[in-house]
Amino acid sequence: MPPFDQRIPKHDLSSGALAPLYEQVLRRNPGEDEFHQAVREVLETLAPVFAQRPEYLEGKLVERLCEPERQLIFRVPWMDDTGEVHVNRGFRVEFNSALGPYKGGLRFHPSVNLGIVKFLGFEQVFKNALTGMPIGGGKGGSDFDPKDRSDAEVMRFCQSFMTELYRHLGEYTDVPAGDIGVGGREIGYLFGQYRRITGRHESGVLTGKGLSWGGARARTEATGYGCVLFTEQMLRTRGRSLEGMRVVVSGSGNVAIYAAQKAQQLGAKVISCSDSSGAVVDEGGLDVELLQQVKEVERGRIAEYAERRGAQAKFLPGGTVWQIPCDVALPCATQNELGEQDAVALVNGGVQAVAEGANMPTTPEAVRVLREAGIAFGPGKAANAGGVATSALEMQQNASRDSWTFEYTEQRLAEIMRHVHDSSFETAERYGHPGDLVVGANAAGFEVVAEAMHAQGLI
């Protein structure tokens, strides 16, 4: 492998061709910090692309890419079990459909606002392009908090949410899936309401469905598994593998659980995971079955996992996994959860690779620390693309009324993750930044979308 290039390409956004564009993004989208951060990160790292291919700056193509095709905001009224009425806000940002129907998850979390949905939608456009599959980018959600709500309350909320959203969806227009706070239960309620309103069993309209009504095997596992398969590819280019490595995973939701499971299958020892109340350290290696029982079945807290493990595990209230010396760190919870000091702690603790299972979990300052230390870094657009890619495989099965085995689907996922890794790796090399997967993933995704938009005229 050529030596890792530690120089960080920088397109100076305070002057030059992109300055007025970024200024416009800030002006048009006031207060949307996460969206600004996502746009900035992409524009800065595309400097080598614009230097070699100045035609991409023509026709306001980059301006068009930064402006969603459509942004929907709607009222979601619902009644709780005591009869009290609540009013939440629903969002769907249909960002770019040059490559296919809008595709991207729904997030239910009290922190959700338009800026967060836009940052997620923007990232999704490049990620989906990187998979090589025919899917555009979108994202949605609500500031509804499903935590501590009964199944009946979650169902009433989902029904109300879909009563507005259904008119914008369709297997050829917009196909949502899950994200934080939206799993199999929520997808079930959403799909049921869509079917009732439209009178159609249109299985390709949502992904992450149950297996008996159009779901795909391995979709539940796909994001976490894909992230670990991507990590294995990164390590391979450095002549290493996950075998025997100590791994920490943040979060304990869908992505975290299956990242931990796959890492263990590949011979690593996963010693820590977390939730928003703290971290657990389990030096003997996480008991993933127990974790699934506590988090997926009982919807409990990570502290309860530690309690059930007894002397094996220790709960650190308010703690994070970044303080624990490890070889590999997989941030799998939420945006901006791994800051500069956390990155310093990881480097001091001997970390060799960091791959983002979550979307934008590493702050720009932390990314800088990791890159300058020469740590292998897999950005979310590439490392967590396995989830959406397997959603596209679910759409493929729905369209052909087929149902693949777990083994076959996992094999397809592995091929896709290899493609995502290799195209990011090769693109980074082509633009003179060998080994830099941030440049590689952004540039490879950008090229695909830019070519499609250029070919389709002024859209």
How far is it, in rounded angstroms, from Cα 251 to Cα 430?
Answer: 35
Q: How near is the Cβ of 392 to ligand NDP at its closest, in Å?
A: 12
Does 179 interact with ligand NDP (rule: CB under 6 A)?
yes
What are the residues whose beta carbons fall under 8 Å from the beta carbon of 439, sequence distance 6 or more? 9, 45, 48, 427, 428, 431, 433
Are 361 and 331 in contact, with CB atoms under 8 Å apart? yes
Q: Which of 116, 130, 169, 180 binds ligand NDP (CB under 6 A)?
A: 180
**Shortest reach from residue 105's CB to ligand NDP, in Å:** 6
CB of 215 to ligand NDP, least distance (A): 13
In the bound state with ligand NDP, the residue whose beta carbon lies nearer, of 128 and 427, is 128
Query: CB of residue 350 vs ligand NDP: minimum separation in angstroms?
Result: 24
Q: Maximum Cα–Cα distance for the chain, whole Å?
A: 64
Q: Which of 276, 341, 405, 411 binds ligand NDP (CB under 6 A)?
A: 276
Least Cα distance to 283 among 319, 246, 316, 249 occurs for 246
Among 207, 254, 423, 442, which residue sits at the site for ligand NDP (rule: CB under 6 A)? 254
33 binds ligand NDP (CB under 6 A): no
At how many degrees (to 10) do helices 385-399 and 406-430 cross? Answer: 130
Closest to ligand NDP by CB, 48 or 445: 445
Active site residue 103: no
Find residue 273's DSSP bridge partners.
Answer: 280
* Selection from 315, 323, 373, 328 nearest residue 354 by Cα: 328
Per CB under 6 A, contacts with ligand NDP among 333-352 are: 333-334, 337
Which distant-in-sequence residues (6+ apart) come within 8 Å of 181 by Cβ?
Answer: 107, 108, 109, 141, 144, 145, 146, 147
With CB atoms as reference, the residue minimizing the distance to ligand NDP is 253
Is 125 among the residues that bind ligand NDP (CB under 6 A)? Answer: no
Q: CB 357 → ligand NDP: shortest distance, Å?
A: 6
Contacts of 192 (CB under 8 A, 6+ apart): 159
Residue closer to ligand NDP, measured from CB, 101 or 434: 101
What gap in Å lies between CA 281 and CA 271, rounded to an integer? 6
Here's the x/- map for ligand NDP, 44-73, by CB under 6 A: it reads as ------------------------------
- Smaller CB separation from ligand NDP, 180 or 235: 180
Q: Which of 139, 209, 262, 381 is catalytic?
A: 139
DSSP β-bridge partners for residue 92? 72, 140
At 387, the amino acid letter reads: G
Closest to ligand NDP by CB, 304 vs 429, is 304
- The window from 17-25, 193-201, 271-279, 321-329 that contacts ligand NDP (CB under 6 A) reads 271-279
Q: Which of 68, 90, 121, 387 contacts ligand NDP by CB under 6 A?
A: 387
**Binding status of residue 395 toward ligand NDP by CB under 6 A:** no
Q: Which of 275, 327, 342, 447 binds ligand NDP (CB under 6 A)?
A: 275
| Residue choice 206, 247, 255, 263 for contact with ligand NDP (CB under 6 A) | 255
Report if residue 253 touches ligand NDP, rule: CB under 6 A: yes
124 binds ligand NDP (CB under 6 A): no
Total site size for ligand NDP, rule CB under 6 A: 23
Among 136, 204, 251, 440, binds ligand NDP (CB under 6 A): 251
Query: Least distance from C-beta 446 to ligand NDP, angstroms?
Result: 19
Interface with ligand NDP, residue 358, by CB under 6 A: yes
Out of 88, 223, 397, 423, name the contact with ligand NDP by CB under 6 A: 223
Residues facing 174 on adjacent strands? 102, 170
Sign, CA torsion 233/237/242/247: negative
Q: Considering only residues 384, 398, 409, 442, which one is a binding residue for ligand NDP as defined by CB under 6 A? A: 384
The answer to whether residues 439 and 8 touch, using CB atoms and an 8 Å cutoff, is no
Q: Under the rule (CB under 6 A), what is the footprint of ligand NDP? A: 178-181, 223, 251-256, 275-277, 332-334, 337, 357-359, 384, 387
Active-site annotation, residues: 139
